[in-house]
A and B are shown apart, each in its own frame.
Chain A
Amino acid sequence: MPSDVEQWKDELYGTDIRDEIERFAEEGWESIPEDERDAWFERFKWFGLYHQRAGQESYFMMRIGPPGGVLEPGQFRRIVEIADEFSRGPAENPEFGNGWIDVTTRQAIQLHWIRLEDVPEIYERLEDAGLSTVQACGDSWRNIVGCPVAGKDKHEHVDAGALANELHDTYKQNEAHSNLPRKWKVSVTGCDEGCGQGDINDLAFEPAEKEIDVSGEAGGSSDESDGGETVTGYNVRVGGGLSRNEPRFARNIDVFATPEQAVEVAGGLSALFRDHGDREDRYNARIKFLVDEWGPEKVRETLQEEYVDFELETAGEDLRESYSYNAGEADGKHDHVGVHEQVDGNYYVGLNVLVGRIGIDDAYELADAAEEYGSGEVRLTQRQNIIFTDVAEENLDDLRAEPVLEEYSPDPHPFQRGSIACTGTEFCSLSIVETKNRQVRFARWLKANVDLPDGVEDFHIHLSGCTASCAQPQIADVSLRGMKTRKNGEPVEALDIGLGGGLGEEPQFASWVTERVPADEVPGAIANLLENFADARESESQSFREFVAERDDEELAELVEPEETSYEDPYMHNTKRTWYPYAEDDELDSSPAPARADGTPIASDD
């Protein structure tokens, strides 16, 4: 029997939702019938609106998804202006104040405390700047991720940006692909560093080349030889994802596609998922489970027989051997932070954004700097950072001297550079623990108290509040996942600790070696782990990931020695049982929500 969500989607889904949002916005939040709220909130996701968690009723998270994370000149500023005017909450966050933008691990931006009544005005202002929230959430094509420096990068093999944009234009707001069994995450990588992180996506296009018959459908750049034509394009992988304690790397379905064919292949696979995915059990709905059941061979056969009208090529020669992005043991660059020369002789400057959050005032200063020293374009990365592109060499020193770059640095400390955190219990329904403020405090304490072993310049710590894995914890050196434990007789927020994850040619999920560590003992555990690593590793050239790979879980668990330190954690209580974890009176009963458009609370019936 189809789930409630499937029934709601059958009744109304896709582009038709816009009119309903506008109607409810006009009439006010209270006009949503109480017995229809679950259905409407589920549908609103398709237009990028996610109702915030219990205690924050009537407030929404809004997600804006630029394909490939590319914000054209003026777009970043427009988002900051919208956040300034519409994204302010009833209480302050002690680390970030009141008003910010969040850069996500899917190269999107999230705003919080959005009121439904303001949404039409926000949509208008976004669209005026060429931006959209369409399908940023919900059961369909999510924001297409890819190389954030596509078109500028010296490492580029094929233009991932062009394909990401074409997929966006073809399949967003496309009725045939609007209602899928579950979310559909697509990645396009064009470089030899693997920064699209295709392995953890439902559908991944990865750079490759192949000699094909010249009479075939060639698309990318090519070199003719006696046997045919060597064409650049993409190999295709399907069924990756991290959520629900069921992580999978995308499986190779032995298909090579030219850039033109890639659009059709993507549509075919989306349609295959639409028609064959599990609509009765949402926990089994992602395509990774269909690939488990069918195997990659049957996926390929079905794609060929039912969903594309040309002969599929077998996989070409890929570039995975050189992948270094978030790869742990590899040489090369692990992220886009720092100053890097573009193909045109200008530079792109990657700035670290700790846990992806930028306060409004800082965001204005960053927008100013992007416009003054570069083209004004701001790009978003899957490590929650931002990139200014097109900075002339003569402007680099002045840009570096901008005060705002002290915090958003192109040369940050490794503990800050490596930190990623999801939204957490501050707003998210799914999370078990507080995350962003905690990760900021972790990074601050580690920077002040722990020396990284010699030779370690990159060290990734990802904190995810639950098994949904939005912070991609399984592909970090140290993986942290929200949990609970009991300490001194009381339930407290805790974290599971995993080690040794990363991408690269041979991706590896972290192994969960120590579970239920009280959150206030985690910094001590990381400090002790690093000390033990420094003492026990073979040589200074051995990476942390290699060190972990050599040991079994039991041995690794002994190297993690949780302990209390000078680190203090103000979020040990059940932060989910608050209306806002940082409010002076944080009890659920003290919540000012739901509220009308002007912020006045709506009294409950009793």
Chain B
Amino acid sequence: MTIAVRTLDDGAWISVNDSRQVSVSDVWTLSRGVFCDCEPAYVLLEAFVDVSVDGSIVFADAVGQCLECGTRDPIDRLPVGRVVDGEFRPYDPEGVQWRVEPESERASRE
């Protein structure tokens, strides 16, 4: 089944199948090293710049800021949810530490 994803409203939302599903303004918990040296890093997503689907996983490219050290940087391929039986199930930004796929792994897979 085709999954339609796009950023909307000047990068404020990720739309999945024409429904706004993931919003900026949530704080995501990321493992140390993938964004900054904080452990864990609490990162406010400020804007989505792109979105993609790999298998059933929806990935976002975003700009974020660490709430502890203030680092502001792009984040590539942050997994924000997955599609199960045609329905989008967002990941909980607060509950789980998400690991951003390292560049090296992505490059080798591509």
Chain A interface residues toward B at CB < 8 A? 4, 34-38, 42, 53-54, 244, 282-283, 425, 429-433, 466-468, 482-486, 491, 515-516, 574, 576-577
Contact = CB atoms under 8 A, between A and B. Distances in A.
A432 B44 contact: yes
A54 B23 contact: yes
B49 A283 contact: yes
Interface stretch (B13-21, B52-60, B75-83, B96-104): B13-21
A467 B46 contact: yes
Interface in B10-38: 10-13, 15, 17-20, 23-27
A37 B6 CA distance: 12
Contact of B25 (A283, A484, A485, A486): A484
Contacts of A468: 10
B55 to A, nearest CB: 21
Contacts of B15: 38
Contacts of A35: 4, 17-18
Given A432-B24, A432-B25, A484-B25, A515 B6 contact: no
A574 B44 CA distance: 12
B23 A576 contact: yes
Nearest to A36: B18
Contacts of B6: 4, 38
A54 B70 CA distance: 28
A56 to B, nearest CB: 11
A38 B18 contact: yes
Interface of B: 4, 6, 8-13, 15, 17-20, 23-27, 42, 44, 46-47, 49, 65, 67-68, 70, 94
Contacts, number: 74
A577 B22 CA distance: 10
A38 B19 CA distance: 8
A429 B67 contact: no
A178 B27 CA distance: 38
B84 to A, nearest CB: 13
Given A4-B6, A430-B10, A432-B44, 10 more contacts: A35-B17, A54-B20, A429-B9, A429-B13, A429-B20, A430-B24, A482-B25, A484-B25, A576-B23, A576-B25
Contacts of A42: 8
A599 to B, nearest CB: 22
Contact of B8 (A38, A244, A283, A466): A38
A430 B12 contact: yes
A49 to B, nearest CB: 14
A485 B23 contact: no
Nearest to A32: B18
B13 A491 contact: no
A515 B67 CA distance: 9
A520 to B, nearest CB: 16
Nearest to A34: B18
A485 B65 CA distance: 10
A516 B47 CA distance: 17
A515 B94 contact: no
23 contacts: A4-B6, A35-B18, A38-B8, A54-B23, A244-B47, A283-B49, A429-B13, A429-B20, A429-B23, A430-B10, A431-B25, A432-B24, A432-B25, A432-B46, A466-B12, A466-B24, A466-B46, A467-B46, A468-B10, A482-B25, A484-B44, A491-B67, A574-B25
A490 to B, nearest CB: 9
B44 A483 contact: yes
Nearest to B8: A38
A516 B20 contact: no
B95 to A, nearest CB: 12
B23 A282 contact: no
A294 to B, nearest CB: 24
B13 A54 contact: yes
A470 B47 CA distance: 16
